[in-house]
Chains A and B, each alone.
Chain A
């Protein structure tokens, strides 16, 4: 079992709709959870981080964390073509507190 798992996609969502990206992790002691966006050929950029159970909203983005289910998600409201990218879920803490473990990413495509 991978430490951080994501559906590779591609996930295709119509413009203006809500895109929902999901991630599960195996280390129950994990403390910090991150979502990065990566455009093709570019480096990852941080979108959201969340530490506590529940929802955290920032503009069109909402991160959701459920530690009991070891599940973290990212919702993108009013999806725009510029949101088309690969989204990387990352987890820190537990047995790997000094490093972040990345999932392999979900490719999101917003269709006009």
Chain B
């Protein structure tokens, strides 16, 4: 099992450009999450999904959109990138509500917006 994978690993964008980050998991998990991690800020939840076809806003959703068309995939989109979105983005998944305390993380995507 690959666990949680993220594509791409690194990306540099110019202000105003758009991109999509892909997260895939092969553990049949119901819940999936997108976090951003900035120095001294810990992990902040952007959006999450409690099942195929569902999405919900997290702590810092502005400037991002998500989709969960298939259970195994969770996409994070930036429509018009800004320098404030320079960060490391982590995708995670968990079995479900009762196991949400144990999340499995992908390797991360390092995004720089110039």
Q: Do A and B come from one complex?
A: no
Binding site for A on B (CB under 8 A): none
